[in-house]
Amino acid sequence: MKHIEKHVPMKEKLAWGLGGFSNQIAVNGLNTLFMPIFNMGFGVDSRLLGWAITIPRFFDMISDPVVGNMSDNSRSRYGRRRPFILIGGILMAIIFGLTYMASPHWGQWTLFAYATVSCILFYLAYTAYSVPYTALGLELTDDYDERAHIQKYRCIFNSCAGFCLPWVYKYCLKVGERARGLLEQDHVAWKPETREVFAIECKDLRLARTHNEMAEQLNRFSGQTLENGKKDELLKHLDRCKLLREKYLQLAKTLGLSEEELTVHEVVCFSKPVPMKHVSERFPQALFVTADELQTHVDGLS
């Protein structure tokens, strides 16, 4: 029988304990981000998401003992556990990122299928990583007290990961805000043959789930002057359109059209149906549409 040293060097304890950080970030990171992103971000029914998280657990009943048996009987120059930990860790990181790369334009059932398959693949990769990783910690020494001491390092890194997890969600929101900024732009399109100009304001708003969120969005985009004396985003857009109509000669010159009167259409385009669409009754001169409706309505205007 191979003799295992009673005392484990500090660098090995730290190296193994650090794996607990990845372990914690991976599985609890998925639990922390999955529901907010798919439910509030993509608008998937929470009942479907419940099944998307539950179904992979049935695969775990099979994969956990299978991976454990494969790892126990594996033989390589790097040991029984390390190849599984390396491959499982890499796959887990890749699938974790791909899980949230669904398209917001997909339907409910397509998003549900994507989320379910992603979770199944993620938990399979997690099994390939976590089962050998846990076993490796018990095999570093055959001394009971030293084993307990080694587990302390994993607990420390687990706690560090637990502290970081809430900030991961905050960071995702910040990144999302920057990405949405690419869509929240004023666009100008025109048809030379009909001398029509379309001033389009695009807004990619998060799906409001509570009354407070809806009120906040309505306050920012309802075509009014705020308490601080500044105009909200909708009123700014409508004023820009008014300016385009007043400066139509300069606009025509900029667009390379003859200096004759232009028809300027005010278009406000949302990524998804939101309460702000209902302010259209107050501004009949503007067209309020979703991204899916934009082409149809623009064709109808011309």
More confident residue, 295 or 69: 69
Say which amino acid occupies 125.
Answer: A
What is the helix (H) or strand (E) element at residue 9, kind and residue range? none
Q: Which range has the top average pLDDT, 94-108, 186-200, 226-240?
A: 94-108
3-state secondary structure of 43: coil
pLDDT of 251 > 70? The answer is: yes
Residue 2, domain member (yes or no): no
pLDDT of residue 182: 41
Tell me: do 162 and 199 sit in the same domain. no
Percent of the chain at pLDDT exceeding 90: 10
pLDDT of residue 91: 93
b/e 219-229 (16+ beta carbons within 10 angstroms → b): eebbbeeeeee
Q: Tell which of 177, 200, 224 closes a domain.
A: 177
The mean pLDDT value for 167-184 works out to 60
Tell me: do 99 and 247 sit in the same domain. no
Tell me: do 251 and 128 sit in the same domain. no
pLDDT of residue 184: 45
- The vertex-103 CA angle with 47 and 119, nearest 5°, equals 50
Which residue range(s) make up the domain with 168?
A: 10-177
Percent of the chain at pLDDT exceeding 70: 84
Number of H helices, E strands in the chain: 9, 4
Residue 21, domain member (yes or no): yes
pLDDT of residue 300: 61
Tell me: do 157 and 277 sit in the same domain. no
The mean pLDDT value for 138-144 works out to 82
pLDDT band at 55 (very low <50, low <70, confident <90, very high): very high
More confident residue, 67 or 41: 67
Q: Tell which of 149, 177, 205 closes a domain.
A: 177
- Residue-wise pLDDT tens digits, 81-109: 888 989 988 999 899 889 988 887 788 89
Residue 94, domain member (yes or no): yes
Tell me: do 37 and 167 sit in the same domain. yes
Tell me: do 158 and 266 sit in the same domain. no
Whole-number Å distance between alpha carbons of 52 and 50: 5
Residue 1, domain member (yes or no): no
pLDDT of 181 > 50? The answer is: no
- Overall number of domains in the chain: 2
Tell me: do 134 and 268 sit in the same domain. no
Residue 37, domain member (yes or no): yes
Q: Tell which of 177, 199, 233 closes a domain.
A: 177
Average pLDDT, the chain: 79
The mean pLDDT value for 36-48 works out to 84
Residue 4, domain member (yes or no): no
Tell me: do 116 and 151 sit in the same domain. yes
Tell me: do 106 and 213 sit in the same domain. no
The pTM for the full model equals 0.60
